[in-house]
Amino acid sequence: MALKEVRIERDSLGEMEVPREAYYGAQTARAIRNFPYGGPRFPRPFIRALGLLKRAAAEVNMELGLLDPRRGQAIVEAAQEVADGRFDDQFVVEIFQTGSGTSTNMNANEVIANRATELLGGERGSKLVHPNDHVNLGQSSNDVIPTAIHLTILMLLGEELLPALAELQDTLHRKAEEFMPIIKTGRTHLMDATPIRLGQEFMGYAGQVERAQRRLRTVAEDLREVPLGGTAVGTGTNTHPEFARRVCARIESLTGIPLRETENHFQGQSSLDALVFASGALKAYATGLMKIANDIRWMGSGPRAGLGELVLPAVQPGSSIMPGKVNPVIPESVLQICAQVLGNDLVVAIGNQWGNFELNTMMPVIAHNLIQSIQLLAGASRNFARQCIAGLVATERGPALVEQGLMLATALVPVVGYDAASRIAQEAYRTGKTVRQVAREQLNFTEEELERILDPVRMTEPGFSAGPGGG
């Protein structure tokens, strides 16, 4: 790079060329050189959280008399600009970097310091506002980065994922009500079972999503405990005893998200158990969403050679060679997203194992996978609700097959016993007749009694479909 295009900055390792117009400094420039993998960078939600933490830290350090107001106010303004996304292009360090995230913490410190210096009339690189002494005052990458991860996830849960799940739950619930009059054959082990209402199936799907929200709220409560204030190894060296508590209060005033300083800093930095717990809840929801998407895909299979109980919205042509083919592309995209989330969970679990002694050294990749999982699941849930669930139409295929179902014989069990009912079901299967036809031939019941006993509607409700009787 030509000399006129760079400025020379110094860090503890010596001089380093930095692009003249860059807001980052020497340590970030070294990280660019050290980690040239072409991988992803920290996304907007994380940069927002980090900017807010740096702003809150500067405000608290001014309150504590540790940072002069002139520099402090400049840092507050610069940090808020970072949080607002003005300098996203200056966050150039990849995810695959030092395991503590130090390079990204210093990337933020340098950008904020140089912007604050600029606001005070100084030149970038002059360190009128110092990235370590002023912006990082009372902090370490080892407590700031995990705290920023917690805050990022809490914001994403509240702003993206939980609202998306609520929308999906509501859409499924409305479909459950619409489909409640429709009686179809239930399936267990992929085989015919007793009748069920199509609406009851969708009631089950809505219940899965509702319980996923409960689990995620438990996760959110766990993540409110943050390791800020532990600095390097959890002892809190070089920070004011009131720093972390006050920063947490500032963050709540800025975001509405209550945080609390951990009572045990040594677990908060040496392990990321809470993040594994969060990932586990995301995995649980992903597997549930896979079940829902796959059920709907199968119920919509056909239209002539499959189950054909549902018609899915036709959103695009399904084949480059077969004219008129329409595929269940929305459920299939959801399934792929869920598979990605399951893979991300494995990375998070492996990452937490690398909590060697006083510090976890997989923080950036854990953060990346959690953020991606949340954003993917939020997008999948919204899109699934809007482009698939809302437009589902039930066909006559499900109700038409109920009378052919052999498991109608279950309703005979309270009346004639299991063995006799089983023989009737086997005879119906062997001869191709319905259970009702065989029962009519073999049992001494009137037509009205058979109608009452073999009523599929009553079989979708708790209790016996018929009282004791002979025959």
- Residue of 12, 103, 189, 240 marked catalytic: 189
**Main-chain dihedrals φ then ψ at residue 187, nearest 5 degrees:** -135, 130
Query: Token pair for residue 266?
Result: 């040594």
Closest to 15 (Cα-Cα) out of 125, 108, 97:
125
Active-site residue flag, 301: no
Helix H segments across 388-433?
Answer: 397-402, 413-416, 418-431
Task: Please give the angle made by the CA atoms of 162, 167 and 169, to the nearest 5 degrees.
Answer: 90
Closest to 75 (Cα-Cα) out of 23, 21, 131:
131
Q: Which helix (H) or strand (E) holds 462?
A: none
CB 46 within 8 A of CB 73: no
- Residue of 319, 320, 368, 373 marked catalytic: 319
Instruction: Say how many CA atoms lie within 13 Å of 293 toward its Cβ.
Output: 26
d(C-alpha 47, C-alpha 92), whole Å: 11
DSSP string of 238-252, one letter each residue: TS-TTHHHHHHHHHH
Query: In 12-135, which ranges are E strands?
Result: 14-19
CB 110 within 8 A of CB 52: no
- The residues with which 15 forms a beta bridge, in sequence order, are 10
d(C-alpha 261, C-alpha 281), whole Å: 23
d(C-alpha 336, C-alpha 180), whole Å: 30
d(C-alpha 426, C-alpha 349), whole Å: 50
The DSSP code for 235 is: S
Query: Token pair for residue 32?
Result: 């660019």
Active-site residue flag, 265: no
| Max Cα distance, the chain (Å) | 103
CB 272 within 8 A of CB 352: yes
- The residues with which 225 forms a beta bridge, in sequence order, are 260
Task: Please give the angle made by the CA atoms of 218, 221 and 223, to the nearest 5 degrees.
Answer: 110
d(C-alpha 408, C-alpha 453), whole Å: 9
Catalytic residues: 189, 319
